[in-house]
Amino acid sequence: MDFIFEVDDKNGKKIRLTQRQYSHMLRRHAYMHKYIEEIKKTIMKPDKLIFSNFKGYYYKGYKDLKSPNRFIVVVVRYLNNHGFVLTSYAEKNIL
């Protein structure tokens, strides 16, 4: 399986963004192609992290995003002590 990236989250778990999930993400959120580094930073050092049903919701604010949506949200699915990015998008507020 081809990876766009693999990083350790704040708890030391490996999180991967696969080519398949990246393509899926861009179909719904095409603007996210320019925020790969922000997605990585959000996973590694989130401002907020919420767990729900084997998923982690990572949030991080960025002052320089060019829209009213100032937060990057990364949704990660955990399986067998690893995680993979399901999607990522920009949001106005942290939940």
Distance between CA atoms of residues 82 and 78, nearest Å = 6
pLDDT value at residue 61: 87
Q: What is the pLDDT of residues 41-64, one digit of tens each?
A: 999 999 999 988 778 888 998 887
Residue 24 burial (10 A CB sphere; 0-12, 13-18, 19+)? middle
pTM, rounded to two decimals: 0.90
% of the chain surpassing 70 pLDDT: 98
Distance between CA atoms of residues 84 and 49, nearest Å = 15
* Contact yes or no for 31/22 (Cβ under 8 A): no
